[in-house]
Amino acid sequence: MVFNYSNITTAAGLLTAPNTITQGWFWFVILMVTMVIIFMATIYTGWEISLLVSSFISTIAGIFLVYADLMAWKYEMLFFSIFVLMILYVYWSSTRDDY
């Protein structure tokens, strides 16, 4: 697929050009790769906290991308749901009795 970059005249056009070619997946994949990199960088703290931290940062960054109209809310909800599920898992695992 060939994209005509001569139509880009503003910064907003430059940011939305990759989404035109990839049908909206470009910024979601960039955010997912960022989440994986943060997860791998903080894995020494334990996988629970590492996933919690990386999903929180991705949620905040995703909210900025959604309000910049670069990513859809349905993709942002993936990061938010991982964040909420990890909070629930950490709470559950800290309160259960180990026999």
Per-residue pLDDT reduced to its tens digit, 32-42: 999 999 999 99
pLDDT at 26: 87
Q: Which of 44, 52, 42, 43 is nearest to 94 (CA)?
A: 52
pLDDT at 97: 66
Domain chopping of the chain, boundaries: 41-99
Output the 3-class SS for 20-35: HHHCCCHHHHHHHHHH
Residues contacting 36, CB < 8 A, separation 6+? 54
pLDDT at 17: 76
Higher-pLDDT residue of 22 and 52 is 52
In this predicted structure, the answer to whether residue 43 has a pLDDT above a threshold of 90 is yes
In this predicted structure, the answer to whether residue 7 has a pLDDT above a threshold of 70 is no
